[in-house]
Chain A
């Protein structure tokens, strides 16, 4: 099974500043036949279901603000929020959909400093 590990567990960033969340998989999630990384990012606010932000590691879901971006390949990935807004306070999860059981990172709680 692929284990997903996020860092840090929690993060406090000032409004307007950059927030960076890392995600590491225990084995590569890059599928060589199509050169795609099977990695998604979700945002979850209290009392709500998760919301898809990015998939294929860097493709932004429709309607997601462009301050959210994803990068990385193979086993190491990053979610970046370029200029933190108050509404970005949430828990963020990475997920691999390369092989079953599809697995999530433990989550990173993002707060305002």
Chain B
């Protein structure tokens, strides 16, 4: 079955970096894009950016430009999201989500990973 499995919880100090992985299975990796969405404790959903599984092209939300990098490893069908210069307000659950396929490319988030909790604490 189609699934996205993310790496485990992380605890980082302010100023550090975190790299979260999202391993895809059950579908042809290069045919779909993947977005990253985060959710602070008790808060709503925030879209961070997306990466093409086909060519690795990225589009980041302006808010995260310069601090986030999304990459793919097609040999292992894995997407990575690295967030640098962590602050306390980066504490959140980070989700990867696969875009729905179809004739019209669109960031309709059909399949979600289980989430990765990132805690930023000194």
B interface residues, how many (CB within 8 angstroms): 23
Residues of A within 8 A of B45 (CB): 42, 44, 50, 93, 95, 104, 107
In whole angstroms, what is the CA distance A36 to B103 when docked?
13
Closest chain A residue to B112 by CB distance? A49
Inter-subunit contact A52/B47 (CB<8 Å): no
Q: Taking the nearest CB of chain A, how far is it from the CB of B78, in angstroms?
A: 18
Closest chain A residue to B95 by CB distance? A49
Q: Counting CB contacts under 8 A, is B62 at the interface?
A: yes
Q: Taking the nearest CB of chain A, how far is it from the CB of B120, in angstroms?
A: 21
Residues of A within 8 A of B104 (CB): 34, 36
Residues of B within 8 A of A97 (CB): 106-108
Q: Counting CB contacts under 8 A, is A106 at the interface?
A: yes
A residues apposed to B, CB below 8 Å: 34, 36, 38, 40, 42, 44, 49-52, 55, 61, 93, 95, 97, 100-107
